[in-house]
Structures are given as C-alpha cells and as structure tokens.
Amino acid sequence: MTNIRDIAKMAGVSVTTVSRVLNDHPYVKDDKREAVLNAIEKCNYQKNINAVHLRTGKTLLIGIVLPFSDHPYFTLLIKGIAQEALKQNYKLVLFQTNYQESKEIEALDMLKHKLIDAVIICSRICDWSIINEYTQYGSIILCEDTRGKKVSSTFIDHYKSFLFALDYLYKKGHSKIGYCIGRRSGTNSQQRELAYKDFLKKINVPFNSEYIFDDCLNFEDGEQVINQIKTMNTPPSALLVTSDQVAAGIVTCCQNQNISIPDELALIGFDNQPISEYMNITTIDIPLVEIGRKLFIQAFQEYITNEEIPARLIERKTV
C-alpha cells in the first residue's frame, strides 16, 4: 500500500512537505507541490480520510466488545446493533475478548484515542472500576443493569426473570430444580444465583452446588449435563437452562437415551432462539435483536438512560 512516505520518496521531498500539500498548507514551494501532486497521481494515492476524521472528530466506527462472535446469543445482539448502525452509516468493529481483560481494555483504549466513537460492551470481564475510568473519554454502553452508574444500558432483570421461572417450575410440582449457566462468575450469572438461593430459602430446600452446571454454552454441552445427572443419587427433576442452544442439546441427548421430557426431566430454556421454537422448548423470551438496536441508539444519545427490557415465558412442551 502506498503511504505518505512512499510519496515523499517518489517526489524527492520530505514527509512534512507531502503532509503540507495534502493539507493545503501555504508554506510549500510551487515546484515541490507540483512534484508531490505528480507522485500522488502516478500511484493513485487517495488522501487518507483519517485526516478528515481529525477535523470532524468522528470515525463512524463503533466498538463491540463480546467474548465470542460465534454464539447465537451474541450474533443476535450484533444483528440488532448492525441494523441500527446501517441506518446511521456506522460500521461495527469487533473486539472478541475470549474474556481476557487486556482485550477489553484495548477496546476502551481505542475509545480513549478516538479511533472509535463509542463502545458497546455486550458482556464484560473487567471490574466496573476500570470501565468507570474510561467513561470520561466517550460513550460506553453496557448490556447489564447499570442503574446508579454513569453509563447507559439496556438490560434484562435477570434476578426477576430467573425467580419467575423457578416459581413457575415449583407451581408445576418441582422442588428439585437445578440450572445450567454459561459462566458462573459473570455479572448476570451472579444475579441469577442470588435469585436461585433466595428461591431455595423461600421453599425451604437446602442449596446443593451439584445442581449448578457451569460452562454450558453450546449445543454439545447438553450431553455433558445429562451425563452428570445420570451419576447423581438424587438428580434434579427440572432444569433452567440459560441458553436455548444448550437446552436443544439436552433435548436431543434425552431423545437418544430415551429419557422422557418433561416426565423425567423438565426444561426451561432462555432467549427464545429459533431452535427452541422448532424443538418445542419452553423458554424465557429475551428479545436480543431489540436489545441490540437499543444499545446502538443509546450510544449516541446525549443523556444517560437505563432501560429494562421485560422477559416473558413462552410455554411449549418441555415443562
């Protein structure tokens, strides 16, 4: 790729001179200007629009921080963000962190250095105090409850929706209820664990850590869950499964092993992904595309807003 240095070499002038010509600076001699313009013409050099960005202070790029780009939960969020971005001529810059703190900070540093206009953090690993430091540099939007903090957010009340689903299973006769979670240490997961423990206290059932299945993210993790359950003396009779992908994996595994759903094991998935509809999985609808759209809009609002999106139960055939 031709850069300003190549042009300078071709024209036999300094880089500073090329820069002055590009920026219509007055202190350039005519013959040097001519040489630079000829060199530019010769190699089809386009004036770098980054120079324009310097003037407007806008890059029309928005950073998206997410652990993986190949999970339906995140691809649906991205879909919503992309829909709004398209309307406003913004491009998405993906920061796939694999939950490495340093990768998250890289996105925040790009905001600080004006390389992107805003950052949407779909799921974070960094402590809030770190993110808080960066709020002075530009718009940071989160997909979790940030009420009382200095950033906008669109979120599901995971405590409330988890408790609702647990109560629903209890009313259907279940008291041995376990759950599958993607990353137990996550912010949303902590709210869910709190709801779970409060629910157990309410129905007077002791907490059993065996009933929490961690690292459940994909279809194939469903089989792991069933294998674990089969080794238990007192297996759960119902599971909340925080991803429909995992719930679909559990249903498929149960079909292969002749475990009857919902008689032997009841299931509630989360997200209402297309697969849950086609596999008839009862699920908690989380409108991820809508949430994605709202996150983008919030990124360019002048005031801070925190919007809670209601989740709702969709009754199908697995409870």
Residues forming contacts to a second copy in the complex (CB under 8 A) are 1-6, 15, 19, 23, 27, 44, 46-51, 53-59, 61, 68-70, 72, 75-76, 78-79, 82, 86, 91-96, 103, 110, 112-115, 117, 136-139, 218-220, 222-223, 249, 252-253, 274-275, 277-279
Residue with tokens 């139960």: 313
Least distance in Å: CB of 92 to a second copy? 5
CB nearer to a second copy: give 212 or 218.
218
Least distance in Å: CB of 47 to a second copy? 8
CB nearer to a second copy: give 93 or 194.
93
Least distance in Å: CB of 163 to a second copy? 30
Least distance in Å: CB of 1 to a second copy? 5
The separation between CA 182 and the C-alpha centre of its own chain, rounded to angstroms, equals: 13
Least distance in Å: CB of 190 to a second copy? 28
Cα angle value 181/122/164 (rounded, 5°): 45
Q: Alpha helix locations (H) across the chain?
A: 4-11, 15-22, 30-42, 49-56, 72-87, 101-112, 128-134, 158-171, 187-203, 221-230, 244-256, 274-278, 288-299
Answer for the pair 206, 176: CB distance below 8 angstroms, yes or no. no
CB nearer to a second copy: give 135 or 306.
135
Answer for the pair 175, 203: CB distance below 8 angstroms, yes or no. yes
Residue with tokens 């950052």: 119
CB nearer to a second copy: give 91 or 202.
91
3-state DSSP: the chain helix, strand, coil percent, rounded to 5?
45, 15, 40
Least distance in Å: CB of 201 to a second copy? 37
Report in angstroms the alpha-carbon separations of 28 from 18, 24, 40, 285.
9, 9, 16, 64
**Separation CA 96–CA 75 (nearest Å):** 12
Residue with tokens 């009754």: 315
CB nearer to a second copy: give 71 or 176.
71
60 token code pair: 């029309």
Q: What is the DSSP letter of 311?
A: P
CB nearer to a second copy: give 85 or 268.
85
Least distance in Å: CB of 133 to a second copy? 11
CB nearer to a second copy: give 131 or 279.
279
